[in-house]
Structure 1
Amino acid sequence: MKIRNIRLKDIDIKKINFKKINLKKINKSITLKLFVVTALVFIVFISSTLAIQSLFFGQFYMSKKKNDLQNGMEKFRVSYNKTTDEQKIAELIRDFEDTNNAKMLILNSNGKSKFITRPGSEKTEALRLRLINDIIKKWTMDPSIIIDIKASNKPVTILTDKRGNETRYMISAVPDNSKDEIIFAVTSLQPVNEASSVIKEFYFYFYIVALFLIVILSLIYSNMVTKPLLELNDSASKMADLDFSKKCNIKREDEIGNLADTLNFLSENLNKSLTSLKEANSKLEEDIEKERRLEKMRKEFVAAVSHELKTPISLIGGYAEGLKDDIFEGEEKDYYIDVIIDESKKMANLVADMLDLSQLESGNFKLVKEEFYIDELLKTTIKKFAAVFNDKNIKFDINFIENTKVHADWSRMEQVITNFITNAIRHTNEDGSIMVNMKQQEDRVLISIENTGENISEDEMDKIWDNFYKIDKSRTRKLGGTGIGLAIVKNILMLHGSEYGVKNTDKGVKFYFTLKKV
């Protein structure tokens, strides 16, 4: 089954059709529209107010004056009918005139004015009555008017004609049938047209100032409204580019504030989701890469095993057939039997090493670490090779640092040291020498195994750690090497987090590795 790796980097974000929004365009659009709408609303409102006042102020003034005067007359008539005390009546007249800014006169059934003394100067009162008499006389010259007023039993109001610069008056009459009298009230009308003209001129200057204030306030208001919207759009645009660093710093207790909080919440959740997706994708890549490496290792393993086992199997098969056919006799027969046994041991060693290497390279191998003295391990391991050193007449020099404690896997480190020493023995000629040295390096200890002999070419320095790589295949086979010893060493040291390597020296070749001290 093939696993297809869908990686986040394969998704071209630029190809996703995010609708890009021009911030400058939005800025101009929203601010301008809001400014125009706000300004127009204020202008229409003020213009309408001024126009209504200019057109209907006069009519409103007349209507209001008429209603107030008639209502006042009705109230006065009710109070007037309840008393006969002239002093009380005089107070009622005074209150009415002060309240309505009007002059009052009462006519009896004969059409004569009924003089009612009002507190104050008699001369002033006489002038008041004469003025009222003159106005009312013009209005009541027709007797039918008096008859109509009495018949209606409700206030009747008229306006005098305007002649030149004369002041116009509003006259209101209400019959008092209980006393067979008519109550008149006269009030002068202010020159509304003149006042209206002044008001219009005032409105002109007011309108100019108002327009200026409207423009300023509309700009301020539109900026106050659009600023958080632009910030929201900026954050949303950053989110569209998968940049979640931008946050909306809008602290408002309204819909815009709620929207900002929601956008921040969305940004945080998207960031977490994408981070989780990236981590999952990275893990998937690692798993697939690991699977590929294992598959490659399996193929290389099978190919290498086939190649390595081909020669010993051929030898064993050929010699076994010869022995079966009695081709060999005597000492020759014993020799070939020994060859078969030797090749069988080599095959067993090779299979054991390959299984060991397979475990180490699987990625699932667990070290069994413990604290121990590395110098003791070196001494114990080296003693096993004493006979070999004597057989090849190899001089062995040791430089130990006593009581150097490390935290590592004892058996695997023994395997590392054994491989290095075995490798050194194979490449050291008779009468050569091997030097094992320990050196302190801050929190680590450096261990090196150096042997005399030929140097390794620079091209092969890195290759010697690969599986089944042999510098001198014929010589290695003769000495019994499997070709995967250094590959096993490399994997063990990598699991320990050790630094390791090889370098040429004046005498030969030096292998080294480090371990962390306790």
Structure 2
Amino acid sequence: MSIRLKVILPYLLLTLVVAVIGVYVVTRLVSNTLSERLTNQLLEAGRVVSDNFVRQEVAHVETGRIVAYTSGLAEALRREDREAVLALVEPLVSGLSIQNLILITPRGTELVHIVQEDGEIQRVEENTGAAGSPIVQPYLQNRDEQEPPRRALGVNLVNDQYYYYTAIPVPLDDGFAGVVVIGTAIENILPFLKSTSLADVIIYGADGRAIGTTLGAGSADENTLNMISISDEDFRSLIVQDDVVTGENFELDGRWYRLARGPLQVGNDRVGVFAVVLPLNFVIQSTLDNRTTYVLLFTLVMLGVIAIGFSVTRLIINPLYSLVQTSQAIAGGDLDKRTGIKSNDEIGTLANTFDEMTARLKERTEELERTNELLTRMDKTKSNFIQISAHELRTPLTLIMGYSQMLEDKVKDDAEAAMLAKGILDGSERMTDIVGSMLDVSRIDSNSLFLKKTELQVEQLVNKVHKGFAPALKERRIKFETEGLDALPMIPADPELLQKVFHHLVMNAIKFTPDGGNVTISGKYLNGRVPAQVEVAVRDTGIGIDPDSHSLIFNKFYQTGEVLLHSSGKTKFKGGGPGLGLAIARGIVEAHGGKIWVESPGHDEKNYPGSTFFVSLPLEKKAE
């Protein structure tokens, strides 16, 4: 049997069983129509919302009376002693968690206005016009401390939030002392209404605009509020209804809802309109007996799922786990490891293919190891050949140079002979440089480069290199400049070897810079690194280096671009050479514990983008 059937058949049977049970649950438990259930639930939720607003009103009245009957408050309010009133009511605002408290004097002065948000109490200094509101004006006109509380929905101009307000008169022994207004933010009332009614709630203001809701992102979501608002005509019609009225279906955020609206009546005042909202797929839980049957049936289904899952695990996961273990062993270097899986399905085919691939990988690895060993021996032979050849060439070259110098002295009066002698001497010096480079490479390859470190000044070292290339710079009209070298600290380094580094870098800069170009050597002290570093940059205005060659140019015998392959090209434009200079420079710099690299935008023999070689050397001495 294939792995596809092993996976599909059990879950096909499971799907069939679940479908049969689902049909039974739907037909058995859902006895009434969805519309009837939604309507009943909406009407019940509407009654719960109305009752909870009444409870909120009772809490407002109790809080307002505590404030009004606080000892000394009525007298201070009547004489408009703001500081005395604040001293009395601020502890009450904090202790009773009053969100908005307004105190109006008998003359209509908004004496105290306090807003509390997130535990922080804010005194409002400006007049917000609360004394002119419809729930305060009747008290100021009638001046009757026995009048009942009044309530309304309104906007607090301090924070532009909608509040539910309750106003009560403040009595004094000899009459009316002012008005207390208690407010609670609608956005704080809504979550409690939702949790008790088990439905989303919408509150509408006097013009039919939704001022708060638990739908979507809540009261702060202006798009949601605009979408669920009603017309002023519908608002006037709803506010005179005697009960909750079911309304239309609507879609919000890809989900369909049904709502019921009704007047928000507290006492004798109808302060607004509210709506309760439920999703259309809301299903009321059925009877206890049917619920028990539902749980029992799905428990049996879950046991079946567990049993099938266990079987699938044994059929599929165990072989896959074996494959994982084998692959990890092979990744760790054990190429003799095999899966040991023997089956006729897809996993068996995968395991057999994997084992064959491992066997071929082992054969290829052994072949590469043999090749690498051969290449290592060849590289060692090449290094030995270079070292022996260099030593063998040095002695005859020394003789040639000596005889050439003697010959040059004897024929100095013969211009033609003197020119030939000088040519022999220049060629011998060039060949001696190449032999010296070959010996340096041999010592670097064999890790026998011995450093004689001393404290030295980079500027002095660069000046020596400049002096050696002065004739070539003059001949090629190349401007040589230094920047910041005099400010560099002393560094521990081998002066002879480090001079070779800058010798090769400057020689390359001259060779690959056209006549009339610039070569600049700059330095800076990097004290932020550990250890501190001295960084020297050799910058030219030459033909540049292709980014693909930035790492290759430090290899032995590597040449970039088209060069003139002749020994006399030491400082000529694009002059040739053996390709050892940068390899030697890298070996010497790394032996000092430093780093060398190049930066260049690319190779261009028309625009001359130039190249910059960086040498970074540590100031701290390392063990030699």
Q: TM-score, length-normalised on structure 1?
A: 0.36
- Report which structure shows greater RCO (CA 8 Å, sep ≥6): 1
Q: Which has the higher helix share?
A: 1
Q: Which has the higher strand share?
A: 2
Q: TM-score, length-normalised on structure 2?
A: 0.31
Which one has a bigger Cα radius of gyration?
1
